[in-house]
Amino acid sequence: MDPFYEVFAGWARKTSLDSAIKSFTGRLKPEELESFVEEYRNEVTTVINEGPPIIHGPREPWYAGPNASADTYWPALERYIRTDLAWPEKRVTTLDRSSNKVIAYTPRPNATDWDSKGLVVGYVQSGKTTNFTAVIAKAADVGYKFVIVLSGIHNGLRKQTQERLDEQLHQLTPAKWKQLTNAGGDFEAPTMQSTSLLHVDDSGVILAVVKKNAAVLKRLDKWLQPAVKQRALGDVPTLVIDDEADQASVETRIINPLIRGIIAKLPKSTYIGYTATPFANVLIDPGAGDLYPKDFILNLPEPDGYFGTERIFGRDVVEGDEANGVELDGSNMVRIIPDEDVDDVRPSGKSAAKAFIPSIPPTLDDALTWFVLATAARRARGDEGHATMLIHTSVKTDIHDHFRGPLGAFVSGLAKKWETGDSATVERLTSHWDREIALVTAGTFGLAPLAFDDLRPFVGDVLGRCRIVIDNFRSDDRLDYSEDGQVAIAVGGNTLSRGLTLEGLTVSYFVRAAGAYDTLLQMARWFGFRFGYEDLPRIWMTEELRQWFRHLATVEREIRLDIERYESEDLTPTEFGVRIRTHPTLRITAKMGAAIPAYASYGGRRVQTRYFRTQDEDWLLRNVDAADGLLSRVRTKGIEPRTVDSGAVLFEGVDADDVLSFLNSYVVHPDSPDLDADLIGKYVAKQRRRGSLDTWNLAVMAAKPGSERGMVRLGGMEFGRIVRSQLKVDGVERADIKTLMSKDHRAVDFLDQSVARKMSENALMDARDKHAEVKSKGLILLYPIDPTSEPDKANKDSRNPLNAAADVIGIALVFPGSANDDSKVSQTYVSVDLTDAEIESDDGELVALTGSDG
């Protein structure tokens, strides 16, 4: 690269492009200056285009990326990541690009006073800390002088974050950092006043890693007071990173005002919240001067090799999804805990909690045994890393303590039987290993399979090293990974639920109920990376919890797709809020902020049935009658059908009243709130007043004539049945087919299917909105489903036959328009009844840890 260009780019980055042009005019040839300006603008554009999706305010991006001749902090961190951590090139590039884009939407440090607020949405246990470490390094390179990291509410997380930043920032360029905290202690006011310390050396950066605790934040606030009085902070650009930004920072009586008070003292402040559960953050009232991310919301990409909600539990196909045709059924790593076993590990209510003593039911026995076997398998592969099992049944510390005895007895008993060569024990462990490796094969992840004999030399050592750790906010015992090769069974609650990494987490036994999306996701510490043992993790949980996590995977996907969509529509965080799908029994978050009542638009969406009462013949026949009635009315009005290339039968120009009458007759499963006939009716009524949705096209998505699955008679016509098998789900009285419609079906009334299949979801939406014949029409699709519906060979492991008691009619609706239209309809939130509190609150712990009452 031209060294003169690097000087120009460094000046443009520091002062502005206009300033650089003025400064270099006359020093460079006109054509050379023009070339530099064009190159700089291209670099800024590259930062924006290559980075992850973002919705942002009116501030123009200015950052052209790292500058090799001017930067110190990022080059050092990048070398460390490449050399010491041995990250692959793709992962380094992803980190570089995402952190570039964050910096691009923060204010340039030489600008006049500002108050910028943003939010970075990551995944649980996915490397958010590394991302904000890169952001800190690049912010320091461009001139930020003071960095405050708000690191959760627990000492363990604050210490872990401090150690990471020490290792990846301070130790790489020690002369450049002045630290106000260390691994051994939280913030205490230094002897030097803030006025002096913040200006003692213009070449360095001051770093404080502080807990979100009232006493700590008050000390920091007080230390800043002299600098405020002397107006000494005006030239101190400050970056505030709020790790776990949805915890304690939102709608709390003491912590939230303290954070806002500290920020208010900083004339040049950029606040960036980091969280994997942004529900509370995006529901903050944007007009209240609070921490609402008014300037940007950025969506971090899912890293390669990451085990997240979707990969483990699967999800629904959602609006704008490009995963059409890809199996989204999740992995086979979840084992179901029956109700009778739950009663052995968790009290049934408040009154039973005090006297409750846990025992080891069969499923916990299986989980503990698998932990020993999986850890031995890792050792057999040469992996001497830490191994952890998590047992999370309750927030109550007394219950945690009572687990120590039964767990200790189990481990010692198994160790003794193994040592003596007890044949029944060896046979039981062999059978357990063989059963599990048949369900999740090593070859799926490119790993060499292991026989039980490969594990045998390591089982005794694993049992001998295994220790029971009771980790909660009252205990002195803590998970400690300072020594190599730890093997630990950890029992705990909230100290193990936020931010803290459980090293080598292989097995989770999880029955603790939670009432909100964010609480549930944060308790799921099994998400993350499992390099070299991807085939070994297992999760034991109730069927209800498994369904909840699958729903949350769908919610997460929708939020991320919304961010992508709003970016393409140039919507800002203050113009359009991120939508969050509701659930019949889960709250979104305890901190609902300005979200109630919520409103939803059907504009641009497609909604479909996926759940059916396949054994309720009356329910099924009622829907057949509804479909028969709709088609009869349509044909009576003289609308002639035409057959399209896929075999679907299309009726064009159907009256909206006939469609709404059908929807009021058709019965959807209660787990399908998107197909609420009342909500749809209200939305259609609003649109009709604007001249849209008066007429609809109707497609019957039938198999081509001669189908071997037979025919169903609707409206006096014969239609070939299609196949939709059901997912294998234990203990659920409903059939879940997952996906009814393909994305190309949304264009069946105006595009050849061969063309539509090659187009993206967004392209199909745009094409519909621009097509003169259909842009103001709705599309309703009927799917006559074969009651038997055997799965094909490729899906036999994950699916069962539908085996319905009668013909099944699935329906889908496609709406024209944009999510940004204002024909929105009120949507109801339903939350769980907490009267007898199997769903537990952590408010008491929050008070103890933050020094506030929320």
Is residue 381's pLDDT more than 70?
A: yes
Segment among 127-136, 411-420, 486-495 with least mean pLDDT? 486-495
Average the pLDDT over 450-461 and give the result.
97
- Smallest CA-to-CA distance from 16 within 2, 1, 37, 34 is with 37
Sequential DSSP letters for 216-260: HHHHHHHHHHHHHHTT--TT--EEEEEETTTSSSSS-SSHHHHHH
Question: How would residue 544 be classed by pLDDT, with cut points 50, 70 and 90?
Answer: confident
| Spatial separation of the C-alpha atoms in residues 683 and 661, rounded to whole Å | 15
Is residue 498's pLDDT more than 90?
A: no
647: amino acid identity, one letter = G
State pLDDT tens for residues 822-844.
555 544 322 222 223 233 334 44
128: amino acid identity, one letter = K
In this structure, is the dihedral angle defined by the CA atoms of residues 189, 192, 198 and 203, taken in order, positive or negative? negative
| Spatial separation of the C-alpha atoms in residues 848 and 434, rounded to whole Å | 46
- Smallest CA-to-CA distance from 607 within 745, 758, 433 is with 745
Per the document, the length of the chain is: 854
Helices (H), 29-171: 30-50, 73-83, 89-104, 128-142, 155-165
In this structure, is the dihedral angle defined by the CA atoms of residues 296, 302, 308 and 314, taken in order, positive or negative? positive
Average the pLDDT over 126-134 and give the result.
91
- Quick one: pLDDT at residue 571? 74
Mean pLDDT over the full length of the chain: 86
- Smallest CA-to-CA distance from 331 within 316, 347, 315, 320 is with 315
User: Which residues is 654 bridged to in the sheet?
Assistant: 696
Instruction: Determine how many CB atoms are found less than 10 A away from the CB of residue 561.
Output: 20
- Quick one: pLDDT at residue 309? 84
Question: How would residue 496 be classed by pLDDT, with cut points 50, 70 and 90?
Answer: low
728: amino acid identity, one letter = K
Sequential DSSP letters for 343-388: HHHS-SSHHHHTT------HHHHHHHHHHHHHHHHHHHTT----EE
Secondary structure, 3-state, 172-190: CCHHHEEECCECCECCCCC
- Quick one: pLDDT at residue 33? 94
Comparison of pLDDT for 201 and 179, the residue scoring more? 179
Is residue 784's pLDDT more than 50?
A: yes
Average the pLDDT over 620-648 and give the result.
93
pTM, full prediction: 0.72
State pLDDT tens for residues 270-304.
999 999 888 788 878 777 789 989 999 999 988 88
State pLDDT tens for residues 77-98.
999 999 999 999 999 999 999 9
Share of the chain above pLDDT 90, in %: 53
Is residue 515's pLDDT more than 70?
A: no
Is residue 394's pLDDT more than 70?
A: yes
- Quick one: pLDDT at residue 85? 92
Share of the chain above pLDDT 70, in %: 89
Average the pLDDT over 168-183 and give the result.
95
| Spatial separation of the C-alpha atoms in residues 337 and 343, rounded to whole Å | 10
Question: How would residue 312 be classed by pLDDT, with cut points 50, 70 and 90?
Answer: confident
Instruction: Determine how many CB atoms are found less than 10 A away from the CB of residue 1.
Output: 10
| Spatial separation of the C-alpha atoms in residues 10 and 17, rounded to whole Å | 10
Instruction: Tell me the pairing of strands 334-336 and 538-541.
Output: parallel
Is residue 343's pLDDT more than 80?
A: yes
| Spatial separation of the C-alpha atoms in residues 565 and 322, rounded to whole Å | 13
DSSP 25: B
State pLDDT tens for residues 630-640.
999 999 999 99
- Quick one: pLDDT at residue 845? 41
Q: Return the top range by mean pLDDT from 14-23, 303-312, 628-637, 753-762.
A: 628-637
For 302, the 3-state DSSP assignment is: coil
State pLDDT tens for residues 223-236.
999 999 999 899 89
**Token duo for residue 422:** 């007890």
Instruction: Tell me the pairing of strands 695-700 and 649-655.
Output: antiparallel
